[in-house]
Amino acid sequence: MIGKNVLIGCILFVVSAGGAFGFGQIEMTTPEAVNEQYSYNGDIVVGRSVSLVVGGGGSGVNRSYSIGFSPGTSGDGGNRRLYSAIGTSIPYEILDSEAAGNQLKDLDDGGPVLSGSIPSGGTATESFDVRIFGGAVPPPGTYIDEVTLTAYNFNNATQAQVTLSIAVTVPANISLLLSTNNLDLGDLVENASGSVTLNVTSNAEYGIELSSPYNNWRMAHEDQTVVSFVPYSLRLDAATLDLSSNPAVLPGYGSTGSTGREHLLEIIVGNTDAAVSGYHSDVIDITVTANE
The Cα-based distances of 152 to 117, 127, 254 in angstroms read 12, 16, 49
Domain membership flag for residue 2: no
Domain membership flag for residue 110: yes
What is the reported pLDDT for 234? 98
Considering the domain architecture, whether residues 148 and 193 belong to the same structural domain is answered as no
The number of distinct structural domains making up the chain is: 2
Domain membership flag for residue 96: yes
Domain membership flag for residue 4: no
- Residue 262 sits in which domain range? 174-290
Domain membership flag for residue 3: no
Considering the domain architecture, whether residues 30 and 137 belong to the same structural domain is answered as yes
Q: Decide: residue 8, CB within 10 A, 0-12 exposed, 13-18 middle, 19+ buried.
A: middle
Residue finishing a domain among 108, 140, 170: 170
- Given a contact cutoff of 8 angstroms between Cβ atoms, the answer to whether 290 and 204 are in contact is yes
Considering the domain architecture, whether residues 74 and 117 belong to the same structural domain is answered as yes
> What b-and-e string marks burial along 209-235, b requiring 16 or more CB atoms within 10 Å of the CB?
ebbbeebebebbbeeeeeebbbbbebe
Considering the domain architecture, whether residues 145 and 181 belong to the same structural domain is answered as no
CATH of the domain at 25: 2.60.40.1090
Residue finishing a domain among 170, 194, 229: 170
Domain membership flag for residue 1: no
Considering the domain architecture, whether residues 217 and 160 belong to the same structural domain is answered as no
Considering the domain architecture, whether residues 127 and 208 belong to the same structural domain is answered as no
Q: What global pTM score does this model have?
A: 0.76
Considering the domain architecture, whether residues 156 and 178 belong to the same structural domain is answered as no
Strand partners, 231: 218
pLDDT by 10-residue block (mean), the chain, 292 residues: 29 31 65 91 82 58 86 95 96 90 93 85 80 92 97 90 95 95 94 97 96 97 96 97 96 90 98 95 97 77
The full length of the chain comes to 292
What is the reported pLDDT for 52? 67
Considering the domain architecture, whether residues 26 and 149 belong to the same structural domain is answered as yes
What is the reported pLDDT for 132? 94
Considering the domain architecture, whether residues 23 and 126 belong to the same structural domain is answered as yes
Domain membership flag for residue 250: yes
Residue finishing a domain among 170, 195, 225: 170
Domain membership flag for residue 273: yes
Amino acid identity of residue 64, one-letter, is: S
Considering the domain architecture, whether residues 137 and 252 belong to the same structural domain is answered as no
Considering the domain architecture, whether residues 183 and 153 belong to the same structural domain is answered as no
Cα–Cα nearest to 132, from 169, 102, 172: 169
Cα–Cα nearest to 132, from 39, 252, 229, 19: 39
Considering the domain architecture, whether residues 65 and 195 belong to the same structural domain is answered as no
Computed on alpha carbons and rounded to an integer, the radius of gyration of the chain in Å comes to: 31
